[in-house]
A and B are shown apart, each in its own frame.
Chain A
Amino acid sequence: MDKMIEVKDLCFEYVEGSQTINHISFDIYKGEYVTILGHNGSGKSTIAKLLIGLLEKKSGSIRIHGYELNLENLYKVREQVGIVFQNPDNQFIGATVRDDIAFGLENICIPREEMDDLINTYASQVRMDQFLDHEPTKLSGGQKQRVAIAGILAMSPSIIILDEATSMLDPRGRHEINELVRDLKKEREMTILSITHDIEEAKNADKIILLNEGQIISIGTPQEILSQVDVLEQLKLDIPFSLKVSQKLEEKGFHIHKTLDMKELENQLCQLNAKN
């Protein structure tokens, strides 16, 4: 499998002497959906900025799709990676939603004829096709995030980094965007790196990188990472709801198999109830 992101022994500090990113290493392969999970200030967003060269590392190495990230390769790397930040206000350029999505496409020299199609397709995929002629700054926070995501998806980068990119959407909207991203991942083998502290979102990833104080605590599947209740609590992260309920029932002496899945928990409870 192709390695899309290779990080080796990466270090970074904003202020000399205080390591913000402390010797981290991880690999992300083509078509993988990976989540970096950690609380505010754990260094998640700093990693995103390092990966696209917005911040300069102190030591270690970053390779994106085979290219070593350095001054010479910076633009080659950025062609591969699309990033959506948490606050879309910092990312708008166009006077209308249509212009804004077009801006990215113009930059990568997409012919005019194809552009209209791409804009319409992606605007409707994020349900913003009714708003193409609206001013981005007058949209609600969640709508802005949808537009920012459409703008990046339309450019079809091979890697997408979502830095808390759905934080202002309602849970249903967040779910829709996550589904869309997952579909694209399957269809085009896009590689997704999502940065979040939303446990329910992290449940859907192929792999979770658990981050604390700039260090990687562990890397594993959602089942592996999210069942470590003690670790999550220590890192000030949420415990998945179903796990919390099953754990409390177990403490009360019920024979419950701990699970991340609410339906599964309900089935277990129904069986117990039927026995009585």
Chain B
Amino acid sequence: MSIKCKKLGYIYGQGTPFEFQALKDVDLEIEEGSFTAIIGQTGSGKSTFIQHINALLLPTEGEIQIDEYTISALQKPESLKSLRKKSGLVFQFPEYQLFEETIEKDIMFGPMNFGVEEEEAKTIAKKVIEMVGLDQSYLEKSPFDLSGGQKRRVAIAGILAMNPDILVLDEPTAGLDPQGTKEMMNLFKIINESGKTVIIVTHDMNHVLTYCDHAIVMNNGHVERKGTVKDIFQDSAYLNQLGIDLPLITHMILDLNKKGFHIDSSINNIDDLVEAIGGEIHG
């Protein structure tokens, strides 16, 4: 399922004193099966944009096309339910949305809302709880007895239970500790490798380098650049101007190359970096 935007724009509070144009003239395409990062400063329009991907916000200008659905400012589809089933959105701090008395019920809520029978929803709950790295014994517990990181996993399991083709995540690792962050990012990688399109809003360029294949750079409500992660990180001067720091690995490679090294700047992990540095010093 690819996503295409044409001249997409969004104005908050149109016609009120709070009117604010958060998105303007967004033209882009996100390929099916990609792991795409959306980067940019706070307030650049990232969160506003992703809320269009499951029609939580409807365009006030232009259009967005998701698979066979077209949502435009002029023409809004009658039912968005089937679109929302295909495109799952995980907000910042999704753990605040948990509400049921058991984790199992919380996870089953989504699928049952889309017409899945209770028995089948239970089977789904068993499957997805393990996908997010918790065992089935958690299903009977109250979601409110869990730690923050565990709650977040349960919230994500609730989205996975609807088996969306597109998973959209708004800063899914904010507030998690390094261990939790790594496990969460690995989980998204596995989901992506199972064939789903994963779109992630993040400030952590180290994650973008390690996990993503494509990146979209937003600034002041516009999409300024799009391309492979490798290409995006080549232009450090541009990113710097937007207040985006390079991944530490890329940063170090570019520094060293200025001082006479010749290291491949597309390296995306520490072991390859150390290998390359070692090779040069020995060489």
A: which residues have CB within 8 A of B?
39-41, 86-87, 133-135, 138-143, 146, 164, 167-173, 197, 199, 236-238, 241, 244-245, 248-249, 252, 254, 262, 265-266, 269-270, 272-274, 276
Contacts and interface: CB of A to CB of B under 8 A. Distances in A.
Given A143-B42, A172-B245, A248-B271, A266 B147 contact: no
Contact of B243 (A134, A140, A172): A172
Contacts of B261: 269, 273
A249 B274 contact: yes
A269 B148 CA distance: 41
A180 to B, nearest CB: 15
B176 interface: yes
B252 A169 contact: no
Interface string B237-281: 000000111001001100110011100000000110110011011
Interface of B: 12-13, 17-18, 20, 41-43, 46-47, 92-93, 96, 147-149, 171, 174-180, 203-205, 243-245, 248, 251-252, 255-256, 259-261, 270-271, 273-274, 277-278, 280-283
B43 A245 contact: no
A199 B204 CA distance: 14
Given A40-B149, A141-B42, A169-B42, A269 B174 contact: no
A141 B259 CA distance: 39
B228 to A, nearest CB: 21
Contacts of A244: 270
A171 B203 contact: yes
B15 to A, nearest CB: 15
Q: Considering residues A140, A173, A197, A249, which has the most beta carbons from chain B within 10 angstroms of its beta carbon?
A: A140
B274 A40 contact: no
A40 B176 contact: yes
A197 B270 contact: no
A138 B120 CA distance: 38
A135 B281 contact: no
A40 B177 contact: yes
29 contacts: A39-B179, A138-B12, A140-B43, A141-B47, A142-B203, A143-B43, A168-B42, A168-B92, A168-B174, A169-B42, A170-B42, A170-B203, A172-B244, A173-B42, A199-B178, A236-B179, A237-B178, A237-B179, A238-B178, A241-B248, A244-B270, A245-B270, A245-B273, A248-B271, A254-B281, A262-B248, A262-B255, A270-B259, A276-B282
A236 B178 contact: yes
B251 A262 contact: yes
Contacts of A138: 12-13, 18, 20
B42 A40 contact: no
Given A170-B203, A236-B179, A273 B18 contact: no
A241 B41 CA distance: 23
A173 B41 contact: yes
A272 B244 contact: no
A168 B252 contact: no
Nearest to A244: B270
A168 B92 CA distance: 9
A270 B252 contact: no
